Amino acid sequence: MDIEHPLTGGNATASVVRVGATVRKPWTAKTALVRDFLEHVRARGVDAPAPLGRDDRGRQILEFVPGAEPGVLDADDLHRIGRLIRSIHDAASSFPFQETDAWDVLLPAPDEPELICHGDLTPWNLIVGERWVFIDWDGAGPSTRLWDLAYSASAFALNDPAQDPEEVRLRLAALVDGYDADDRMRAALPAMMARRTRAMHRMLERAHERGDEPWGSMYVEGHGAHWRAVAEYVSTHESVWRDSLLRPAR
């Protein structure tokens, strides 16, 4: 029998395992929808784990992507990640969807979605190796480019709210340059980051009040305090970042 190696990098899904060159994750009500979406973006040039069907225990089988979570990312890396996010959005924009589809999204989602987004394009779902690949597409659902990018920007550019805001400005600039964001998006991004990070804090707080797991425990184990600090930090600096993102960065 093939050996099952537990994969522990994620927060949300119990029992993610590697078996040989594959990953096994629970099959849920939305897995078929996510598989169609994954196949759509892969067919349009996005490098994402290949969905490989269902195993004899009913779990989804995905391609195992070799590599590791990213370490310290410099401006060139963030530029590359911005480009990667843009290519995902562009490929996803032609995927047909209806809000009535069973996306059942856990993370906060915006009103008036315009396309299906991964929803969690963050360092903790990026594998860096010979290929740079976003994994963990199970949270995909209706969203907007701005909302999705705002979450990525918060996660990649200011994961540490004690950082110098000037440093964050440079990291944001590299990311939006890589994305090739237009002026409308640049002008709106910092305020959207403030909304997105506040929504993240609120979602964890509500889960805690209701006893929804694993989010409720994550709230008290540091994630709640983290997102509150990030949200306050973004609110303090968003107008300065907005003005500078509208000027050519480098």
Ligand X SMILES: Nc1ncnc2c1ncn2[C@@H]1O[C@H](COP(=O)(O)OP(=O)(O)O)[C@@H](O)[C@H]1O
Binding-site ranges for Mg ion (CB under 5 A): 10, 125, 136
Of 38, 41, 65, 88, the one binding ligand X by CB under 6 A = 65
Of 2, 5, 9, 20, the one binding ligand X by CB under 6 A = 9
Q: What is the DSSP letter of 44?
A: T
CB of 138 to ligand X, least distance (A): 6
Among candidates 216, 200, 152, which has minimal Cα distance to 12?
216
Q: Which single residue brings its beta carbon nearest to ligand X?
A: 10
User: Within 13 Å of residue 144, how many CA atoms lie on the same side as its CB?
Assistant: 14
Among candidates 57, 41, 35, 65, which has minimal Cα distance to 126?
65
Of 34, 46, 61, 62, the one binding ligand X by CB under 6 A = 62
Q: Is 6 left (phi over 0), alpha (psi -120 to 50) or beta?
A: beta
Q: Token pair of 13, please?
A: 């899904």
CB of 129 to ligand X, least distance (A): 9
17's enclosing H/E stretch is: strand 16-19
Q: What is the DSSP letter of 139?
A: G
Binding to ligand X (CB under 6 A) within 164-193 occurs at: none
Site for ligand X (CB under 6 A): how many residues? 19
Binding to ligand X (CB under 6 A) within 137-166 occurs at: 138
Binding part of the chain for ligand X, among 58-66, 90-98, 169-177, 183-191 by CB under 6 A, reads: 58-66
Q: Are 79 and 124 in contact (CB under 8 A)?
A: no
Of 12, 52, 107, 240, the one binding ligand X by CB under 6 A = 12
Residues within the interface to ligand X (CB under 6 A): 7, 9-13, 16, 23, 25, 49, 62-65, 125, 127, 135-136, 138
